[in-house]
Amino acid sequence: MFGQQAAAAPGTRSVPYQKIVEKDGTNSANGQPATATFLTITAMPAYLSKSMEELRWEDYQPWFGRTAAAVFTA
């Protein structure tokens, strides 16, 4: 309806990848708070509720049902 936002597209195309850096809660040797860097896409807030397999399956969905000729002639 007018004024409502459309649902986000499934898969990983709607949100750009970024690494996630969080405070670890422990102190490093120099007394500064330690941080942890997560490189997996499933650590991103947009994908916290999904596994890598679920995201891969959603990414492949647009390709199902196409023939090889249709894929390579686009």
Each residue of 14-53: pLDDT tens digit?
899 999 999 887 776 777 788 899 999 999 999 999 999 9
**CATH code, 34:** 1.10.10
Question: Comparing 66 with 7, which gets the higher pLDDT?
Answer: 66
Q: How many domains does the chain have?
A: 1
pLDDT at 14: 87
Is 0.75 topped by the overall pTM? no
For residue 1, being part of any structural domain is answered with no
What tokens does 4 get? 């409502």
**What is the Cα–Cα distance from 47 to 17, expressed in whole angstroms?**
10
Does the pLDDT of residue 6 top 90, yes or no?
A: no
Please check whether residue 31 is in contact with residue 15, taking contact to mean a CB–CB distance below 8 angstroms. no
Please check whether residue 33 is in contact with residue 24, taking contact to mean a CB–CB distance below 8 angstroms. yes
pLDDT at 63: 80
For residue 3, being part of any structural domain is answered with no
